[in-house]
Structure 1
Amino acid sequence: MRVYPSSRIRNVVLLGHAGSGKTTLSETMLFESGSKSRRGSVEQQSTSSDYHEIEHEKGKSVFGTLLNLDWRGNKINLIDTPGTSDYIGEVVGALRVADTAIFSLNAEYGVETGAELHWKYTERYNIPSLLIVNKPDSSQSEFQKTVDGAKERFGRGVVVVQYPYSEGEDFHAIIDVLKMTMYEFPEDGGKPDKLPIPDSHQAQAELLHNELVESVAENDETLLDVYFEQGMLTESQMREGLQQALLNRDIFPLFCCSAKRNMGTGRVMGFLGNVAPNPLEANPPKTPGGEDIPLNPEADPLMFIFKNSSESHMGDMLYFKMYGGTAQPGLDLVNGTTGNTVRLSSLYLMNGEKRREVDQVNTGDIGAAVKLKNTNVNDLLHSKDTVVDIEPIHFPEPVIRTAVELKREGEEDKLGTALHQLRREDPSLQVEHSRELKQVIIHGQGEEHLAVIKYTLEHRFQLDFEFVEPRIPYRETITKEVRTHYKHKKQSGGAGQFAKISMLMEPLRDHMPEHSELKVRDVREIDLDWGGKLVFRNCIVGGVIDNRFMPAILKGIMEKMENGPLSDCRVRDIRISVYDGAMHSVDSNDAAFRTAALMAFREGFMKAAPRLLEPIYAIEVTVPADYMGDVMSDISTRRGQIMGMDAEGAIQKIEAEVPLGELGHYATRLKSLTQGSAGLKRTFSHYAGVPREIQQEIVKQTRERQEVE
């Protein structure tokens, strides 16, 4: 087995919109490098990366897949990622361990939504990026329009390195303005002939060559001086300038290829080997404080876990990148998250579903391991003498939710175990066991994401269930003050129960006035677990209720606040002053005062003009200007309020506040309105009053449900 030094490793992630040809590109690169003797195809379900059954069903990538190949002595680790935003969790993990990104742009459609979304992440992680315009052999190919769109969306750093000699069915040659050569391919693709650039293209090639040279020179003062003196740069000077400009994200070289016909992929792999950074040159990982963690092959082992893929016969397959030293089987490392010691057993290099066991994994390389007990994504494994922390992968917040309703009783534990495992494998999934709503709620990145989760639960874990609408965590409060009284008296032979309570209930506001007739002896201000506050005041004078019963009174009030009188939802933002009552020397006890407080609260609450509150979410929609009107109109129909608008280049940003109850399938509707071109973020903002007619309907539904139960 060949062992590659760090300088010979390239870690590359393939990005782009669904359908732009990433999987076909990766397949062709494997074939062209000799790693495969025959090219697979998405249509025949024979590619190395899309090997899961659900990917065959959907005809596209759902999971990120690690591949590797050798190109002229360089090991290229290639991660093929899905292009649909529902699977963005698979992308962000891959981006954290990649040193270079390749964007596949479909020559038919130009820069699509998936590419724009992924571009923002490469900016965030400062990853050197190059572009490939794929499918120039399509009858609908518009190469120049795609280039113009890339420059508009990604900036003037986009520079053409290659362009097609001809497009459409006549596509068979690529003009390379860096090498100033034309590559002409045989009918079935493969190794091209190197030819002089035809006279008909000489002027265009020279123009683009000069633009490329000038872009390289202007980002390096030394090269700029050479360029001014000599009017040109040598090939080695160009390579050196390109390396630094690429690393600094000053330049984004743009290539051209037909992945399906195997025309042009070899040149891209050559560029990766000659120009793209190796792990020691690439932008290093960071500590949570933003400090660089330099990669050092001579240091103690440092292993970062970025992906978990469970296999039925192997268990958890944990993918890692070596940020220092060398990993070997039998090595004991400390998990920086748990503090536990982990022993490395078998180590593998992955090529889709195929794996090859290896004796070591060097600094900068990417591998996989099994049987790493209590180890998860974002864990950092290091030697016991190493003290280091790393900025974790930040997975995007969900945009959609659904509840799980089992069809068979007794499978609650099985469901919990399954969801726990899926959460380990997919940190972009969030699972909520809501005691408040009495539901298990799954939060995901979109309808397709939820569909994959459903498929997995049904087929892998053999669970019989359905997705249902999740309930809304409403809150209850009051809008006017009332005085309420209750006497609890129970006599059933022997010792009875007796408690009498009078309390003042008020909506909690800032700077509340005092009541002159009340003498406040004690105040408890309670921050409620579910948001809001309860202010509980002991205003008893004359000893009509003993202080020892106050905790029981508070307990009774809190008990009813957890299941409000109006709709069984939790109560918040109330001030209660207990100011009068009575007790009995024999029959009064904690249970009696707890019951009296609960009943007094319930009766008073219903007289205090109760109000239902609903959760309001702040949403941020990014959308092309053409769809602005439709999106804003749709937000209005959802009782949303536009809070602001801004522009980010050609993209418009809308900020709004919308009730959670109106966001059930909003992510899906937004895709439909904008042909998949919109982005969505949402975060909880605050609670606000529900319109009266909606409140009446919710209370009615609650009563009907209570009768059934």
Structure 2
Amino acid sequence: MRVYPSSRVRNVVLLGHAGSGKTTLSETMLYESGSKSRRGSVEDKSTTSDYHDIEHEKGKSVFGTLLNLDWRGNKINLIDTPGTSDYIGEVIGALRVADTAIFSLNAEYGIETGTELHWKYTERYNIPSLLIVNKPDSNHADFQRTVDMAKERFGRGVVVVQYPYSEGEDFHAIIDVLKMTMYEFPEDGGKPDKLPIPDSHQAQAELLHNELVESVAENDETLLDVYFEQGKLTESQMREGLQQTLLNRDIFPLFCCSAKRNMGTGRVMGFLGNVAPNPIEANPPKTLDGEEIKLDPEGDPLMFIFKNSSESHMGDMLYFKVYGGSAESGLDLINHTTESTVRLPSLYLMNGEERQEVNRVNTGDIGAAVKLKNTNVNDLLHTKGDSVDIDPIHFPEPIIRTAIKLKREGEEDKLGTALHQLQREDPSLQVEHSQELRQVIIHGQGEEHLAVIKYALENRFNIDLEFVKPRIPYRETITKEVRTNYKHKKQSGGAGQFAQISLLMEPLRNHMPEHSDLKIRDVQEIDLDWGGKLVFRNCIVGGIIDNRFMPAILKGIMEKMENGPLSNCRVRDIRISVYDGAMHSVDSNDAAFRSAALMAFREGFRRAAPKLLEPIYTIEVTIPADYMGDVMSDISTRRGQITGMDAEGSIQKIEAQVPLEELDHYATRLKSITRGSAGFKRTFSHYAEVPRDVQKKIVEQTKKQQEAY
């Protein structure tokens, strides 16, 4: 297998909304380059990139897949990514190692929500991007509308390089305004004939050609001077200008092709080879401090792990990009995260599930390895003493959660092991073993994401389970002050137990008044692990309770605060003053005072007008303007409050605050009412009081559960 120098490598990620034709495009590129003798199709479940059973079942990409092909001496690493937002973790990992992004735009629908989401990440990672208007042969294709939408959303940097001679069923030719040539394709696609641009399109082609030349020239002062002097740029000058303006994200060249009919893909690959940056020229990765890491082919080996895909017969397949030197089988490197030594095993170049073994992978190239011990996504492998803190891949926060209920007893450890492995493969998945809620809860990017996790647990790990509604981590507090007293007295045979305490319980607020009858001897402010505070004050005078019993009193209070009297949820934001009590010289001990404090707290809490608090989340919904009314109405039915609205071109943003209880299955509902064109993200905001009727219902449910036990 040929090993390519860095200058001959192109790392490209395919992006775009689900259904825009990315997988078909990648399949056609493989076929056109000669890497495949026959084109597969999504419908026949025969594409190179969609090879997992779950992808065949769903009829679309679920995982990011690494492909590679040779186009006229250049190696193109092509990463086909899912277009559904549920699998955004697969996209982000690919973006991190890509040097160029290709956006596939559906000529029928233009700029869709998935495209919007992916674009934001290319902006964040500063990745040069080009656009392809795909499916110009569909019945409702509208090339110009798609271009207008792209310019509206992505700015005037969008410049047309190609446009279709005709659209719909008559599509058979592409006019290239960079080369000023028309490419006419045979009926079954493939190699086109190069023809002069017809007279009927000459004026439009010249107009677009001038716009392209001006866009390139105005971003390069030297080329701008040449353009003013000569009125045109040569092909080599255009190539040079395109390389720099593409790299700077000053322009976003827009092409046209029908991936399904193999019309136009060769021209795109030619552009990648001639204009797109190689890894050395591309925008470099950065350290945690924001400093650039220069890729050095002559330097020491440096490898970044960006993906983990488990193979049933081989174990973890770890994908890496070489940031320096060469990765070679048998080389010993240091894992920056664990500081352990790792010996590189066999190395592979990947083409879907097919792998080709190589002895070396050069700087800038992407490869894979199996059996890399104690190595995970975001790990950096380097030579001894050559450490660097690289900025890791930042995966998005989840937007949906569900709890797992096992159907067979005794599989808890098996489930834990399986979830750990799935989280290694997919860092956008979060697993929570909640002692508070007594549930195993998984957090994901959408219903489809969770369904894929369930599929893996059932089919890969043979675990029989069901998804159930996760409990809500409510909080309890009080709204008025009370004084409470409790005497704990127990006699059994010899030594007994005795403790008596009096507590003042108050809701914790700013600038609280003091009580003239209390003398404060000691104050502890405790930041609770579950949020909020407990202020614990020792106001005992005269030695009626020894100081040595105060930790036991605090322990009893904390114990009950972890299982509040209202709903068994945790208590927060309360001030407790121990101001009176009694002890016995023989029968008083820590256990007695712990029990007395627990019971005093429970009884006082119930008389202190207790309130239940619920978690409130801030959500940001991104939608086309047509669905604004429906989405806002749905938010109001979820006890949500709209806090802001904004617009970016034709895309609208709604910000609202909604109780977590009301966000169950919201992602599914949002997709339903917007026909899959919306996206949203959520972040925890604060705790707020639960409405009275909701609190009553929750307390009654808790009481029934306690009686059942």
Matched, 1:19 2:19: yes
SS of the counterpart of 1:83?
coil
SS of the counterpart of 1:273?
helix
TM-score, normalised to structure 1, is 0.99
Task: Tell me which moved more, 40-49 or 492-501.
Answer: 492-501
Deviation string, structure 1 residues 265-314 (Cα, Å, up to 9, x no partner): 10000000000000000000011111110100000001000000000111
1:350-361 equivalence runs, <5 A:
350-361=350-361
2:381 is matched with: 381
1:555-704 equivalence runs, <5 A:
555-704=555-704
State the alpha-carbon separation in 1 of the partners of residues 129 and 653 from structure 2. 25
Task: Tell me which moved more, 372-381 or 619-628.
Answer: 619-628
Matched, 1:50 2:18: no
1:175 is matched with: 175
User: Where does the alignment leave 5 or more consecutive residues of structure 2 unmatched?
Assistant: none
Deviation string, structure 1 residues 633-691 (Cα, Å, up to 9, x no partner): 21111111122222223322222111111111111111122222222111111111111
Deviation string, structure 1 residues 387-438 (Cα, Å, up to 9, x no partner): 2111111111100000000011100000000000000000000000000000
State the alpha-carbon separation in 1 of the partners of residues 657 and 139 from structure 2. 44
Matched, 1:205 2:193: no
1:41-440 equivalence runs, <5 A:
41-440=41-440
Deviation string, structure 1 residues 234-289 (Cα, Å, up to 9, x no partner): 00001001111100111111111111111111000000000000000000001111
State the alpha-carbon separation in 1 of the partners of residues 76 and 348 from structure 2. 15
Note the C-alpha offset of 1:385: 2.1
Deviation string, structure 1 residues 9-44 (Cα, Å, up to 9, x no partner): 000000011111100100010001000111111111
Counterpart of 1:126, as a letter, is: N
SS of the counterpart of 1:361?
strand
Counterpart of 1:271, as a letter, is: F
Identity of aligned residues (%): 88
State the alpha-carbon separation in 1 of the partners of residues 223 and 352 from structure 2. 42
State the alpha-carbon separation in 1 of the partners of residues 222 and 342 from structure 2. 49
Counterpart of 2:248, as a letter, is: N
Q: How large is the Cα RMSD of the aligned pairs? A: 0.8
State the alpha-carbon separation in 1 of the partners of residues 41 and 643 from structure 2. 47
Note the C-alpha offset of 1:54: 0.4
State the alpha-carbon separation in 2 of the partners of residues 172 and 678 from structure 1. 34
Note the C-alpha offset of 1:488: 0.8
SS of the counterpart of 1:634?
helix
User: Where does the alignment leave 5 or more consecutive residues of structure 1 unmatched?
Assistant: none
Deviation string, structure 1 residues 444-471 (Cα, Å, up to 9, x no partner): 0000001100000000000001000000
State the alpha-carbon separation in 1 of the partners of residues 225 and 635 from structure 2. 55
Counterpart of 1:544, as a letter, is: I
Note the C-alpha offset of 1:538: 0.8
Residues matched between the structures, number: 709
Counterpart of 2:638, as a letter, is: R
Counterpart of 1:357, as a letter, is: E
1:471 is matched with: 471
TM-score, normalised to structure 2, is 0.99
Deviation string, structure 1 residues 593-613 (Cα, Å, up to 9, x no partner): 111111111000001101101
SS of the counterpart of 1:26?
helix
Deviation string, structure 1 residues 157-187 (Cα, Å, up to 9, x no partner): 1111111111111111111111111111111
Counterpart of 1:143, as a letter, is: F
Counterpart of 2:138, as a letter, is: S
Note the C-alpha offset of 1:624: 2.2
State the alpha-carbon separation in 2 of the partners of residues 3 and 308 from structure 1. 23
Counterpart of 2:687, as a letter, is: Y
SS of the counterpart of 2:534?
strand
1:520 is matched with: 520
State the alpha-carbon separation in 2 of the partners of residues 115 and 493 from structure 1. 76
Task: Tell me which moved more, 188-197 or 625-634.
Answer: 625-634
Deviation string, structure 1 residues 351-400 (Cα, Å, up to 9, x no partner): 00000000100000000011111110001100012121111111111000
SS of the counterpart of 1:327?
strand
Deviation string, structure 1 residues 565-594 (Cα, Å, up to 9, x no partner): 111000111111111111111111111111
8 A contact 2:161–2:212 mirrored in 1: yes
Counterpart of 2:371, as a letter, is: K
Note the C-alpha offset of 1:546: 1.1
State the alpha-carbon separation in 1 of the partners of residues 652 and 2 from structure 2. 50
1:36 is matched with: 36
State the alpha-carbon separation in 1 of the partners of residues 493 and 294 from structure 2. 80
Counterpart of 2:320, as a letter, is: F
SS of the counterpart of 2:631?
helix
8 A contact 2:66–2:352 mirrored in 1: yes
Task: Tell me which moved more, 136-145 or 690-699.
Answer: 136-145
State the alpha-carbon separation in 1 of the partners of residues 651 and 30 from structure 2. 36
8 A contact 2:111–2:150 mirrored in 1: yes
Deviation string, structure 1 residues 125-153 (Cα, Å, up to 9, x no partner): 11000111111111221111111111111
8 A contact 2:153–2:648 mirrored in 1: no
State the alpha-carbon separation in 1 of the partners of residues 170 and 637 from structure 2. 50
8 A contact 2:525–2:534 mirrored in 1: yes
State the alpha-carbon separation in 2 of the partners of residues 629 and 58 from structure 1. 31
State the alpha-carbon separation in 1 of the partners of residues 675 and 188 from structure 2. 35
Counterpart of 1:551, as a letter, is: P
State the alpha-carbon separation in 2 of the partners of residues 259 and 419 from structure 1. 38
